[in-house]
Chains A and B, each alone.
Chain A
Amino acid sequence: MKRPDREPLSRHLLITLTLLLVATVAPHILHLQGWIIGFFLASVALRIASMLRPKLLPGRLLLFVLAVMGLANVIVNYPILFSGEAAIALMTSMVGLKLLEIHSRRDLYIVVFIGYFLLATQFLFNQDALMVGYVIVLTITLTGVLLENSRHRPSNHPIKTFGTALALLLQALPIMLVLFIFFPRLSGPIWFLDIFERSGTTGLSDSITMGSISNLVLSSKIAFRVEFKDPPPAPPLRYWRGPVLWETNGKEWTRGQPLSYSNPPQLHTEGPATEYSVTLEPTGRRWVMVLDLPDTIPHQSKVLGDFQVLRREPIHDRLRYSASSRMRYNTGQITPPERAQGLQLPDNITPRIRSLVQGWRSTAINNQDVVNLALGHFRNQEFYYTLRPPIVNDNPVDQFLFESRRGFCEHFATSFTLLMRVAGIPARVVTGYQGGEFNPLGRHLVVRQSDAHAWSEVWLQGSGWVRVDPTAAVAPERIERSFEFDTALGSDLLGAPIRFGNIQLGTLANMLKQLHWGMDAINASWHRWVLGYTEERQSTLMSMLGLDFLKGHRMAFAMVGFATIAVMLLGTTLWHRGRKRVDPVYADYLRFCNKLKRSGLARKDIEGPLDYLKRIEIWRPEIQSEANRITQSYIHLRYGQTNNKNARRLFHQMVQHFRP
């Protein structure tokens, strides 16, 4: 026997579904191996070709071979088989093959459901507002396909179907909201998510070599967003403090001994504190970015002696925190261990470095003068600020200072720090971010990986630790505004100087910029209100609602209970609605039938009143006359033209008094 779900499906639907699947898999191109995507696209191509030429559709045997090939493809490309990415790769490959195996409506249902699942996997890689919109649109369209597939005949109204699917999904919105607000949050990252976040992060590390920041700068990924309580500080003051590096071997700078784990010195500050909240993208490290210098620091973190702020755990989830900073400060005295570490020198200081420093020392009155002379040296000599410095040799500082004179911020910062140490001034390298773009639409500052920066701090008697940015001496524009990314990348020449964006933008470019800002503002709110709804915020909300007694498993029980009550309420409403339409005459007749049923003679539900009466007469001749009266009366009321209240009441009474 033919069943409706075994019926062949419409060609339009198949084409739509194929295109939808391609759209579903499309964002995975960024994450999956090329071979997997290739296998999937080949399956899709074969599907499309076989629509034009049905002979091309592979048979069972060939499909089996293809499935084995697909599996092998995944195994070869993903050495760690039990990982999320391998699972997604396998699913992508197999859904492509399933496309070749769609013969009936049932197959199509299956593919649509796999499509839903694949859509959900997108969130493992990207949870931006744009991706959410994309997934929502695809979900509605997939639901539309599901709808069309269950129709007897296709409606051929794609817009209408889309609307119906939307209406269907909108009905799930209240449940979604309730689950979003009340469903217990997991405090740690989901194990699955964790893997992806870690593998995908870029950011500052706890050591730098020459070239490490210029690599970082190539990424336009957002590092963090900041909302200021008051107007944001001027661009030259936007120094975001990250790892502080003390120790060098002449090539690499590292954090050194855990001396800096001491408590911070007492700050002498001037002026008001700047308050702000930061939404930090996951870094996989513990540093919390704060404006130079931090005053009050976020929860669950501590500030070290060199004013680095570290969180208790590495940051694997997007983190939102509030902090405040002081722009004008004095760190006061230096401790002897700090001084010792601030003067540590590698063993590859060349004579010409020493003589350079000696020259400054002989003319300078104090340490401040030495710093100024060194900055002047960078400014006046032929130093170039470039993203593509020449390849470094064994002694990068020497090579940079006297030969190439081309470098990025880390070249300047590390060389300057080293020069200061040679001159006997305690100095250290600070890495972090500098600047950031202000989004006028979202009223927040966007700091990208391309804003990564390195600078120096020197200790001067009377001023404490002072920030000195040698890059600013060479390229003051770097500090004033971000550089034009495209031109920076466009210059392939080694050592080509960076040009900065001060070109007047055209109308179109301006509009694009506006669009860009708008998108960023949406993403920021998305991160803030949706993704940022963490366990902490949930518990705050719960206590605001007076529901803080519902914690953990109690919450789960409460939700199950709530759902049960809701379903029961819905069920009774529907049941009542179904019953309301019952004709009162029929209801009375059913009571009559039930009375007889209890005494042993049930009416079959396909039995008409007269047929039933005949059986009653044979079964219990003594109640014949009464049953006959009731039945005749019922026939008159229900099937005849008589319909007056009195007759109905009489009938009701007869049934009431009927005692079989």
Chain B
Amino acid sequence: MKRLLDEIITKAGDIILGKEQVLRLAITCVLARGHLLIEDLPGVGKTTLAHLLGKLLGMQYQRIQFTSDMLPADIIGVSIYDREQESFHFHPGPIFSQLVLADEINRATPKAQSALLEAMEERQVTTDGETRKLPHPFFVIATQNPSYQIGTFPLPESQLDRFLMRVQIGYPDTASERRLLAGRERREMLESITPCIDMQQLISIQNQVDDIFVSDALLDYCQALLEFSRTSPRFHHGLSPRAGLALLRNARAWALLEGRDKVLPEDIQAVLTATVGHRLHSTSDTGVDEGDQLAHHLLESVPIT
């Protein structure tokens, strides 16, 4: 099992250079059955990462490029009148796919965004009074540009909360960048990648995540983190119980990725920033996203007992 997961990470590391931590987090998120939000500047490899995950995990995937003139029907699909059969026929949209790459999600209007986000939460869509189930597993990787860029509609907090994790990729280090520049075109490399696992394997690994043991001592630590976020004056509001659940779920997946059968405080710490960064706001709301700094502050302030 660990070997298999390590192989995925090694393969992914060949395409996205020097970002093992981000790759691990992304895979953790998939294993924890959560949706992933990748947020960074254009050109650091957001889309590549999304493609890579789809390829490696053997999922059938579709990409939706979000634009400001997009409508919900462009995502969900539309019923069109079929003259020959004299009835409406539903043409499923790109969301009917195991892995959906929602590119630049914050370029779309809130209306289009919410169509996607509702599907993410319910794992089904309703059009023309008919409810249609989405495939299983269903997994959304959304990318977004930092909110200070022009032409963006920032996601509301309640919708950000639906992403189990948010990762930021960041610039590569010098050596990695050198290799990247000297190497082949990434797009070509992506084409040649073969899946490491199939759908059944992925589902079984996801089920194993639930079996990772969480001790009382760890729950104490987890609760101390939540408590601190609720009482410290630096946080505008504390972490919700849902955030606590997300934290534990990610920590379990991370522990599995590390080849452990139990969660350690280190696992919590490893996923903390990615899990709570997009759920935290500073009391001095300056418009700049300080979520990751706050998560770091949280990590530094709560001792492990």
Contact = CB atoms under 8 A, between A and B. Distances in A.
A638 B304 CA distance: 12
Given A606-B300, A639-B217, A640-B215, A1 B234 contact: yes
B40 interface: no
A449 to B, nearest CB: 61
Interface stretch (B70-78, B90-98, B263-271): B263-271
Interface string B113-144: 00000000000000000000000000000000
Interface residues of B, number: 22
A4 B284 CA distance: 13
7 contacts: A1-B233, A605-B304, A606-B304, A609-B266, A611-B266, A640-B261, A641-B262
A605 B299 CA distance: 11
B266 A639 contact: no
Contacts of A609: 264-266
Given A608-B304, A639-B262, 10 more contacts: A1-B234, A3-B233, A606-B302, A610-B264, A635-B264, A638-B215, A639-B213, A639-B264, A640-B261, A641-B215
A157 interface: no
B303 interface: yes
Given A1-B234, A640-B215, A610 B266 contact: yes
B218 interface: yes
Contacts of A607: 304
Contacts of A117: none
A2 interface: yes
Interface of B: 213, 215, 217-218, 233-234, 261-266, 269, 283-284, 299-305
Nearest to B233: A3
B213 A641 contact: yes
Contact of B217 (A1, A2, A586, A610): A586
Interface of A: 1-4, 583, 586, 605-611, 635, 638-641
B230 to A, nearest CB: 10
A606 B265 CA distance: 9
B283 A638 contact: no
A605 B264 contact: no
Nearest to A603: B304
Contacts, number: 52
Contact of A640 (B262, B265, B304): B262
B224 to A, nearest CB: 11
A1 B299 CA distance: 20
Contacts of B217: 583, 586, 638-639
Contact of B299 (A2, A586, A606): A606
Contacts of B266: 608-611
Contacts of B215: 638-641
A397 to B, nearest CB: 84
A641 B300 CA distance: 28
A481 B265 CA distance: 88
A606 B303 contact: yes
A593 to B, nearest CB: 11
A609 B269 CA distance: 12
Contacts of A635: 262, 264
B233 A2 contact: yes
Contacts of A583: 217
Contacts of B261: 640
Contacts of A605: 303-304
Nearest to A640: B262
Given A608-B269, A608-B304, A640-B215, A1 B283 contact: yes
Nearest to B221: A608
A2 B283 contact: yes
A610 B265 CA distance: 9
Contacts of B262: 635, 639-641
A608 B303 contact: no
Contacts of B305: 586
Contacts of A641: 213, 215, 262
B299 to A, nearest CB: 7
A320 to B, nearest CB: 55
Contacts of A586: 217, 305
B300 A4 contact: no
Contacts of A3: 233
Given A2-B283, A638-B217, A608 B233 contact: no
Given A639-B215, A639-B218, A640-B215, A608 B265 contact: yes
B234 A608 contact: no
B222 to A, nearest CB: 12
A635 B264 CA distance: 8
A609 B300 CA distance: 16
A638 B262 CA distance: 10
A92 B17 CA distance: 74
Contacts of B301: 606
A366 B213 CA distance: 119
A628 to B, nearest CB: 15
Contact of A1 (B218, B269, B284, B302): B284
Nearest to B255: A639
Nearest to A611: B266
Which residue of B233, B263, B299 has the most chain A CB atoms within 10 A of its CB atom?
B233
Contacts of B303: 605-606
Which residue of A3, A611, A639 has the most chain B CB atoms within 10 A of its CB atom?
A639
A639 B248 CA distance: 14
Which residue of A1, A583, A586, A608 has the most chain B CB atoms within 10 A of its CB atom?
A608
A2 B217 CA distance: 33
